[in-house]
Structures are given as C-alpha cells and as structure tokens.
Chains A and B, each alone.
Chain A
Amino acid sequence: EAGVAQSPRYKIIEKRQSVAFWCNPISGHATLYWYQQILGQGPKLLIQFQNNGVVDDSQLPKDRFSAERLKGVDSTLKIQPAKLEDSAVYLCASSLMTSGFYNEQFFGPGTRLTVL
C-alpha cells in the first residue's frame, strides 16, 4: 500500500513570503497530523484532524499558520508570512482510528523549509 505522500520535498523562501505544503495520507486513514521538527529536536504536533474536523491545534501559531483538510483526505498547511524561526522539517502523518482510540502513526518524508 502507498505511504503518506508530501510535496514539495524542499522549499527555500525569504522571510515574510508565504508557503504551502501538501499531504496525502494513507488511504482509509481518518486521522491526519502535521508536525514541525526543528533541527536537533523531536517533532512537535501543530494540528490534528479527524476526517475534516480539527481535534487539536493548541500548538499551531494561528497568527501565521493555517491548515485545512477538505473532504477528509488531502491536507494543506500554509505559513503566511514566514519568519526565520519557521525553518524546520514539516512532517505529515496519518493513522487509523478504531473503537475510539488512535493507532500507529505513519509518517511521510517531510518538507524541509528554509527561510532566509
């Protein structure tokens, strides 16, 4: 079965520009996650979707970050305007949900963002 797909793989922008990332989860996975991983750190959850509804966005900087998951499948994460500290790898993950509980998360290859 195909894994989690993300694009682009790399992006370089200047501060104050905008950028968007795309994620296609594993087929049938209702739960989708966006993580931010700064160099030398573990991933930090930005937002979690259950189908097309938001479950947790408590760590999403909402003044500049936005995310959507139309039709409960693909998702996009946008940053506008970007800051230098947004340089990181943005990881998308998905998982099944059975009997009200979440299972193993599967990660995509990530998008490496560099803000100059």
Chain B
Amino acid sequence: KQEVTQIPAALSVPEGENLVLNCSFTDSAIYNLQWFRQDPGKGLTSLLLIQSSQREQTSGRLNASLDKSSGRSTLYIAASQPGDSATYLCAVRGQGGSEKLVFGKGTKLTVNP
C-alpha cells in the first residue's frame, strides 16, 4: 500500500528565503507525482506534474524534482513571498496510470514579511 510522507509538517521563513519541501513515498512504482497548493478554505491548485520518466519540472520560481528509485521528491521555492503562504501537498499515482492519487498530509508554509 502506497504511503506518502511530507516533512516538515509546518515551516515558517522570512520573506526572500529559498526553501525546500520534501515528499517521500514507499512504493517507487509510480506513474506520476503532482504538487498542489491549498489556501485556507479553498480547493487544491495544481502546481507541477512530473511524469515518472522525468527528473524535474519548473514553473516560475518553483522547481520540483523526482528521484523515483529513492522514493523522493522535493519542491524548491525561490525567493519566497508572503503570497506563497499556503499548505503544499504532494500526491503520487500508481504505475498503472489509472490508479488513484495518494496524498501526503501536506506542509503548511508561512512566509513572514
């Protein structure tokens, strides 16, 4: 059974700092991995999707890497801003491609002005 763990559970940083959020998964036979952002009281916004054959994806100040063999992914946020404050969730999909997304519990990020 796939399990996804996100460390740390919460993170508080000053504005402008570069930071890394970690995601680990127990079964390396994944089809893809997706990073989401969730603002309080809102739904999930997809940030980056990495296919199992890819090593990283970039979007603006965000960079996500994937190391399937070690069961790890990292989300790098450059030059953090107060508007980046949210909960970041990692989710993996099984190798069949049709299997459900399994989510971690998320990392709550606070960027202080």
Binding site for B on A (CB under 8 A): 4, 6, 33, 40-45, 48, 55-56, 91, 93, 100-110, 112
Contact = CB atoms under 8 A, between A and B. Distances in A.
B42 interface: yes
Interface in B72-99: 89, 91, 93, 97-99
Given A91-B43, A104-B46, A42 B91 contact: yes
A56 B97 contact: no
A107 B43 contact: yes
A110 B34 contact: no
Contacts of B91: 42
B34 A42 contact: no
26 contacts: A6-B43, A33-B100, A41-B105, A42-B89, A42-B91, A42-B105, A42-B106, A43-B89, A43-B101, A45-B101, A55-B98, A93-B44, A101-B31, A101-B97, A102-B93, A102-B97, A102-B98, A103-B49, A104-B49, A106-B46, A107-B44, A107-B46, A108-B43, A109-B42, A110-B42, A110-B43
Contact of A48 (B36, B89, B100): B100
Interface of B: 4, 31, 34, 36, 41-46, 49, 89, 91, 93, 97-101, 103-106
Contacts of A6: 43
> B-side binding surface: helix, strand, loop or mixed?
strand
A106 B101 CA distance: 12
A3 to B, nearest CB: 9
Contacts of A109: 42-43
A14 to B, nearest CB: 22
